[in-house]
């Protein structure tokens, strides 16, 4: 294994660490995608999103979770690659489900190749997830490999449950309550972008049940904070044509796309509670309009009202609360270089510094 393998104690800060993780995991992801003749309609599409860059924070959480409890992070690389493959699969399908136009600063895969071929490429990525996890049987042993596989399968199940709520509300023209929204992001990003990766790394390190719960609490707070920050960036970051990178980079999707796609975010819940009836009705009508028929001036108006009404400030405050909860959970975990990186990562992901 390369001496440049990411280790918390060998990097100056979270930005450098994330860059190393992203480079290492992306190289392994691309290595696992087959190449050859007769696959023009599949593998070039499968390689597309992984080749566009990204922050790599989910694999970083997994590797740090392993290192935090005394494990060798190199033992977690295969699982980190599988997790990133699942992320790429989810992006392809999510873009189709949301009728998104861009991803990582470029046209979404289905906008280039059409929905059928994009769906098939996403399915191939999902197949690679399980093929990759099977390699753990040789490196981790069959018992631990099976535990890790079951754990990630559970993460995937909860992600699909959360996504079903997210897109179901749009399909049924429903506006969720705060409680319903909370239940959605716990399943979706609470697990997928936090608890799941953190606990998976800790599992590989041999953490106890109590330790798994501790790192899981940290990860859940972090993941939920990330979702809220993501929603904020969708309305405040003017970086549609920039690809997100580790420690910097753009949001990589169209500004205000959540309004065009009719997404029921916490910002929408706050906005509807704060606006007078006529303005709230205009927000609802904008969200209920089909994406291709949504007028840019309506999206701009909704963003303006979100700022003026204090909805964005309220959501920023909640974002900071999740970051604080993540920091609090970290205090009960081992005092190691990995904990310092996790603390920095919680600030980087959960605090809306770009809005």
CATH number for the domain that contains residue 220: 1.10.600.10
**Distance of alpha carbon 342 from the chain centroid:** 16
User: How many domains would you assign to the chain?
Assistant: 1
Closest Cα to residue 325, out of 212, 210, 180, 195?
195
Note the pLDDT of residue 257: 84
Please give the pLDDT value at position 279. Answer: 96
- What is the Cα Rg of the chain in Å? 20
**Over the chain, what is the mean pLDDT?**
90
* Percent of the chain with pLDDT strictly greater than 70: 91
- Per-residue pLDDT averaged across 162-187, rounded? 93
Q: What is the distance between the alpha carbons of residues 128 and 223, in angstroms, rounded to a whole number? A: 24
Is the CB of residue 81 less than 8 Å from the CB of residue 132?
A: yes
Inter-residue long-range contacts of 212-217, CB under 8 Å, 24+ positions, other chains counted: 214/329, 214/332, 214/333, 215/65, 215/68, 215/69, 215/329, 215/333, 217/329
pLDDT at 62 over 70: yes
Indicate the range of 37-41, 180-184, 290-294 predicted with least confidence.
37-41
pLDDT band at 12 (very low <50, low <70, confident <90, very high): confident
- The mean pLDDT value for 295-302 works out to 93
Residue 338 CA: distances (Å) to CA of 152, 190, 198, 306: 22, 20, 12, 37
Residue 61 lies in a domain: yes
Q: Please give the residue range of the domain that contains residue 159.
A: 10-346
**For the range 245-249, what are the long-range contacts, defined as Cβ-Cβ under 8 Å and sequence gap of 24 or more?**
245/19, 245/22, 245/53, 245/54, 245/55, 246/15, 246/18, 246/19, 246/21, 246/22, 246/55, 246/56, 246/57, 247/14, 247/15, 247/16, 247/18, 247/19, 247/55, 247/348, 248/15, 249/53, 249/55
CA–CA dist 244, 270 (Å, integer): 27
Tens-place pLDDT, residues 139-153: 999 999 999 999 999
Is 125 domain-assigned?
Answer: yes
Tell me the pLDDT tens digit for each residue of 47-56. Answer: 999 999 888 9
pLDDT tens string 239-283: 444 444 544 444 455 678 889 888 899 999 999 999 999 999 999
Domain annotation covers residue 50: yes
Q: What is the pTM of this model?
A: 0.90
Measuring CA to CA, which residue among 70, 53, 63 is closest to residue 106? Answer: 53
Residue with the larger pLDDT of the pair 35 and 138: 138
Contact 243, 249 (CB under 8 A): yes
In a domain, 146, yes or no: yes
The rounded distance, in Å, linking the Cα atoms of 348 and 327 is 12
Is residue 330 included in any domain, yes or no?
yes
Pairwise CA distance, residues 154 & 137, whole Å: 19
pLDDT, position 350: 53
Within a domain: 89: yes
CA atoms within 13 A on the CB side of 84: 34
Q: State mean pLDDT over 168-185.
A: 93
Domain assignment present for 355: no
Residue 106, in any domain of the structure? yes
| Per-residue pLDDT reduced to its tens digit, 153-170 | 999 999 999 999 999 999
For residue 98, the model assigns a pLDDT of 87
Task: Flag whether pLDDT at 96 surpasses 90.
Answer: yes
Measured distance CA(40)–CA(180) in Å, rounded: 43
């Amino acid at each position: 294994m390369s001496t440049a393998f990411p280790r918390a104690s060998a990097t100056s800060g979270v930005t450098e660490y994330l860059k190393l993780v992203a480079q290492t995991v992306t190289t392994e992801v691309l290595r696992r995608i087959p190449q050859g003749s007769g696959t023009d309609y599949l593998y070039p599409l499968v390689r597309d999103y992984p080749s566009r860059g990204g922050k790599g924070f989910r694999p970083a959480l997994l590797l740090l979770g392993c290192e935090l409890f005394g494990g060798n992070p190199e033992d977690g690389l295969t699982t980190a690659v599988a997790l990133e493959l699942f992320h790429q699969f989810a992006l392809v399908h999510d873009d189709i489900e949301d009728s998104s136009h861009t991803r990582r600063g470029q046209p979404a895969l289905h906008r280039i190749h059409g929905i059928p071929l994009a769906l098939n490429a996403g399915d191939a990525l999902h197949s690679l997830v399980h093929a990759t996890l099977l390699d753990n049987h040789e490196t981790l042993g069959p018992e631990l490999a099976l535990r890790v596989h079951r754990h990630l399968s559970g993460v995937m199940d909860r992600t699909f449950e959360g996504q079903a709520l997210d897109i179901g509300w749009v399909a049924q023209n429903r506006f969720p309550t705060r409680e319903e929204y909370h239940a959605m992001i716990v399943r979706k990003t609470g697990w997928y972008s936090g608890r799941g990766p953190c606990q998976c790394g800790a599992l590989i390190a041999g953490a106890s049940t109590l330790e798994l719960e501790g790192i899981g609490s940290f990860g859940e707070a972090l993941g939920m904070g990330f979702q809220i920050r993501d929603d904020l960036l969708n309305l405040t970051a003017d970086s549609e044509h920039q690809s997100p990178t580790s420690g910097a980079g753009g949001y990589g999707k169209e500004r205000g796309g959540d309004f065009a796609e009719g997404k029921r975010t916490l910002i929408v819940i706050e906005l509807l509670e704060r606006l007078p009836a006529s303005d709230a009705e205009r927000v609802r009508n904008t969200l209920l309009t089909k994406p291709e028929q949504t007028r840019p001036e309506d999206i701009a108006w909704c963003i303006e009202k979100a700022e003026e009404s204090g909805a964005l400030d309220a959501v920023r405050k909640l974002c900071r609360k999740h970051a604080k909860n993540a920091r609090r959970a970290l205090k009960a975990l081992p005092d190691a270089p990995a904990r310092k990186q996790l603390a920095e990562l919680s600030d980087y992901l959960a605090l809306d510094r770009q809005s």
